[in-house]
Structure 1
């Protein structure tokens, strides 16, 4: 129980930092008049690189092979990028909601999805049964 609590607290902290990286890059790119789709994709890239290393080292303390783990991490996060861009399209283009507010709305789904993917698909302990 204590290890799970530490993991969740660490994940929340890293998630907040990752979200800040994502939002800051997105906001700056919007301010220089970058299209929201391009801004979101670039901010995703920076956030994914930060999130991988922070999750590997501080949250899941993974000792797994970096090539396999990083490729899985990027691939699964890419799936959430597609969902996020689709949701942003709906909010921004179809519903005419401001891009920064739309990004906040979409983040709830993205953050939850990313935790589940990290916990059970990417950073799972090798040789340990996860149900």
Structure 2
């Protein structure tokens, strides 16, 4: 797949993943779940969505699923920690409302997730021709 098409499919799947994340986050906030728990639960739903879309549609991976999934969740966990830290800063320290704060933080996490996915998780395995 060429880089332009891959990037476009990543953006579309990212939009789907982000929508799942925001719907879960907003729904949990509406139910008065604290923002940290709401964000962490929404993250879990988004990670499942993102892995399926990235593996099958964006990067068309043929790597071993168990190792790849473990890598995906592990590296995405780093973005969860980053996201929760930034949300704490914006919500608790700078007194922004939880939903607008999440929108701001998403710019950082979406970029980080693309780079981690492309260059660490779904990188093409070397093929030996011998």
Specify the TM-score bucket, using the shorter chain as the normaliser: over 0.9
Provide the residue aligned with 2:36 in structure 1: 37
Provide the residue aligned with 1:127 in structure 2: 126
TM-score normalised per structure 2 = 0.96
**2:103 is equivalent to residue 107 of structure 1:** no
Unaligned runs of 5+ in 2: none
Instruction: Give the match's secondary structure for 2:2.
Output: helix
Provide the residue aligned with 1:72 in structure 2: 71
Aligned residue runs from structure 1 range 1-131, under 5 A: 3-127=2-126
User: How far off is 1:51 after superposition?
Assistant: 0.1
User: How far off is 1:42 after superposition?
Assistant: 0.1
Runs of 4 or more off by more than 2 Å in structure 1?
Answer: none
Instruction: Give the match's secondary structure for 2:51.
Output: helix
Unaligned runs of 5+ in 1: none
User: How far off is 1:127 after superposition?
Assistant: 0.2
Instruction: Give the match's secondary structure for 1:10.
Output: helix
Instruction: Give the match's secondary structure for 2:83.
Output: helix
Residues of 2 paired with 1:57 and 1:67: CA distance? 14
User: How far off is 1:96 after superposition?
Assistant: 0.4
List per-residue Cα deviations over 1:59-105 (Å, max 9, x = no partner).
Answer: 00000000000000000000000000000000000000000000000
Residues of 1 paired with 2:16 and 2:122: CA distance? 19
Residues of 2 paired with 1:35 and 1:108: CA distance? 22
Alignment length, in residue pairs?
127
User: How far off is 1:15 after superposition?
Assistant: 0.4
